[in-house]
Amino acid sequence: MSISLTELWVILGCGAITVLSRVLPFAFVKSLNMPAWLISFLSFVPITIMTALCCESLFVAHAGHLATLNIANCLAAIPATLAGVLTKSLLMVVVVGIMAMAVLRYFSIG
Amino acid sequence: MSPSLTFRTGVRDVLPTVFGYIGVGLAFGIVAHTSHLSLLVVAGLSFVVYAGSAQFIITSMLLLHDPLSAIFISTFLVNSRMILMSTSLAQYFKHESLTRNLLIGTLVTDETFALAMNKQNKTNGKLSFAWQSAANVIAYLVWGLSTVVGAILGGLIADPTRFGFDFALTAMFIGLVYLQLISDKHLGMTLQLSVMAFVALAYYFLIGVMSQNFALLVATVAGCLFGMELKKCR
């Protein structure tokens, strides 16, 4: 159990940065009336951000070259998506996804 | 997911996402342990910084002895998407007091944001302080505890990915994006699918020329602008 001065500063500094990124927008939105274009822009944030977060684990980056697919993740994504279409349950998507990945790893695929 | 917005429903709604936190939390704890971070530092990062992907980056930068300023800038860049998410989410809590707004804002994450956006599709665009707090607090505690447990187990388990738990987070986002797609009646399926294709394509080309975190942000903003224009044309 030890903590260096650098580590302490990193925790406090990064903590402040993160909390401000999260909290300041709430304070602004509360006190300002947002223009219509901004509300329209923000209505697309959920779908775009979630898509981008999915892509983050489906693609593998290669600096200076085109990205390739993360084969294991893409393969496990297929049964997970099917589970979503069939059950519309978040829990089923996660459980099926984990099981699919465990099977892929067991047979060393991807 | 029912339209009820009580604290108890919040607890029930957040449970499926908990798997994602446990899987990645354990993984973070193990990585932090192998990077020689003490239990205290792991707990500090999880309970004070509380920023999933940023914590992995901070850990590797600490290991490389990068300067504080570089660590701060990276953390800001990785978390700048929080500004977008908080601004979106805050619109649903305008009627609540400032204190309650700040409390909700303190614990917003990718997952609880995505969950809230799914929820409001079921409740005609309404969210409540009780429901959101339940989701936020449970996510926060599960994340923190999982990382600490991971750090303790770090020396014992050789390869946690063997059981597929690292895929929980990806699976969760796949589930959330699918539920968003089928339930957002306001934007509709065709428009959302076009925007998704645009974001995926943009991200695919962007990660070749910039860091993944920056590409995520640029693809998101470009996707929103694309969606706005497309909506105007229809």
Give the ipTM. Answer: 0.87
How far is Cα of residue A52 from the mean position of the Cα atoms in its chain? 7
Contact across the interface for A25 and B83, Cβ inside 8 Å: yes
- Whether the predicted pLDDT of B24 surpasses 90: no
B64 pLDDT tier (thresholds 50, 70, 90):
confident
pLDDT at B19: 84
- Number of A–B residue contacts, CB under 8 Å: 296
Q: Which residue of B has its CA nearest to A37?
A: B228
Greatest alpha-carbon pair distance for chain A in Å reads: 56
Cα(B177)–Cα(B179) distance, integer angstroms: 6
Contact across the interface for B182 and A88, Cβ inside 8 Å: yes
In chain A, where the domains are located: 1-32, 45-110
**Residues 160-219, chain B, touching A (beta carbon < 8 A):** 161-182, 184, 186-187, 192, 195-196, 199-200, 203-205, 207-209, 212, 215-216, 219
Residues 6+ apart with CB under 8 A from B195: A44, A47, A48, A51, B223, B226, B227, B230
Mean pLDDT of B14-43: 87
Q: Which residue of B has its CA nearest to A93?
A: B175
Contact across the interface for A54 and B173, Cβ inside 8 Å: yes
pLDDT at B36: 86
Cα(B220)–Cα(B92) distance, integer angstroms: 21
Angle, vertex CA A11, rays to CA A10 and CA A16, nearest 5: 100
Residues 6+ apart with CB under 8 A from B176: A50, A90, B111, B114, B115, B118
Positive or negative CA dihedral for A82, A69, B53, B222? negative
Residues 6+ apart with CB under 8 A from A85: B178
- SS3 per residue for chain A: CCCCHHHHHHHHHHHHHHHHHHHHHHHHHHHCCCCHHHHHHHCCHHHHHHHHHHHHHHEEEECCEEEEECHHHHHHHHHHHHHHHHHCCHHHHHHHHHHHHHHHHHCCCC
Q: How far is B186 from chain A (nearest CA, A)?
A: 9
* Amino acid sitting at position B11: V
- Whether the predicted pLDDT of B158 surpasses 70: no
- Whether the predicted pLDDT of B108 surpasses 90: yes
> B39 to chain A: which residues are within 8 Å by CB?
1
Contact across the interface for A101 and B184, Cβ inside 8 Å: no
Contact across the interface for B48 and A12, Cβ inside 8 Å: yes
Single out the residue of B164, B172, B175, B26 nearest to residue A104, CA to CA: B164
A1 pLDDT tier (thresholds 50, 70, 90):
low
Q: How far is A71 from chain B (nearest CA, A)?
A: 13
> A106 to chain B: which residues are within 8 Å by CB?
162
- What would the pLDDT profile of B166-200 be if each residue is shown by its tens digit? 788 788 889 989 988 998 878 889 999 999 999 99
